[in-house]
Amino acid sequence: MSKQNRENISCKKIVLGITGGIAAYKSAELVRLLVKANIDVQVVMTVAACEFITPITLQALSGKPVFIQMWDGSVGNGMPHIELSRDADAILIAPASANFLAKLVHGSADDLLSTLCLARDCPLLVAPAMNKQMWENAATQRNIAQLKADGITILGPATGEQACGEVGLGRMLESDELLAAINAHFTPQLLAGKRVLITAGATLEMIDPVRAITNLSSGKMGYALAQVAADMGAIVTLISGATALTPPASATNIVAISSDTMYQAVMSHIKNQDIFIAVAAVADYTPASPSTQKIKKSDHSNDNGTLSIQLTPTKDILKDVASLPNAPFCVGFAAESENLIAYASKKRIAKLLPLIIANQVQSAMGSDSNTVTLIDDVGTHPLPTASKTELAHGILNHIAAMF
């Protein structure tokens, strides 16, 4: 498959260059994450990098031989510096040492990796990693400015504790941050500058201080949508109920555990939003009078141990947002156990939504993958079973086209 035909991020091919530096240990985890994301990874190391991490480790993780030497007869015409970049969608250098950055600036080609970068016909991204004084040195800053002027993407560095014991700017970004940067690099900026508000996760409606009414929503779909929307260039606000997930660093993250606090959070942030995606599984009912003290089982020994809880309806966040003057483009989710399309379509019409995403609760709740159907004024648009990240791309592409 040629790189011109690899439109899906999960089909991309990356050449990962590793230079000499203690941060090379992070590259092993980066390779693991890239492979897990179904990105084809070809590792190229400098001789110095081999002092910090072994090629066999990276070969085991990538499933491919690691290239180090300029002259390698195992590659087609014996010229890996040409062959390796021709089928690559990008080259990522992580870690990129101060020395290697200087080589890039001056077009030095004295080893396989530097020659590969000079002979490339694909984008080059570098993740610097070095001591803070090396990073702050005027020579390094001149080199960084020149690399940016040359169209090379600089990822990081981050601030934190360094291997030398000092604290400051110069740490290589973490592996998950680099994976997110790769995804963002390949994602068309269909939502550039648009403000997107997303709700995710389950709500907790307290019965007493230790018990609550909730549901099985994991928040994975909402979090995937938040990350992909940010990758598409959107300014994302994520309002999250209960979940065990790590919020995306590229979004403004707000915690709202109950249906009422989520309602208040949405209404206080909805102004000037372009798109509202209501993914959170918000409780339809909440206890009318939650107990301020833990309810004891012994308190009900005279009525056969039964306990009655009076419930009252919660506010309908999505309906109220869609009813606002100058409402944003509103997208709802319908999780049903039967009559999926009929019930979801009825919900879309009742709430005056341009788009609703229908999915079966049996397969949606808590899983890493799902099968959904998009329903709009035109009709139904089923998406095949896929990971929630892949579905997020499909959903947001459709939203961008409608919007």
| 50 catalytic per annotation | no
Encoding tokens for residue 232?
Answer: 């598409």
Strand ranges inside 68-154, DSSP E = 90-96, 124-128, 153-154
SS3 call for 36: helix
Helices (H), 242-387: 259-269, 317-322, 340-350, 361-364
For helices 98-106 and 138-149, what crossing angle results, to 10°?
50
Asked whether 382 and 211 are in contact (CB, 8 A), the reply is: no
Q: How many CB atoms lie within 10 A of CB 105?
A: 19
Helices (H), 130-216: 132-136, 138-149, 175-186
Catalytic residue selected from 11, 50, 122, 164: 164
Place of tokens 């959107």: 234
Element (H, E) at 88: none
Q: Any idea what DSSP says for residue 288? A: S
Asked whether 246 and 174 are in contact (CB, 8 A), the reply is: no
* Torsion-angle region of 391 (φ positive above 0: left; ψ -120 to 50: alpha; else: beta): alpha
Beta bridge partners of 153: 125
Place of tokens 């803070």: 132
Distance, CA of 122 to CA of 186 (rounded, Å): 12
Encoding tokens for residue 313?
Answer: 């309806």
The catalytic residues are 164
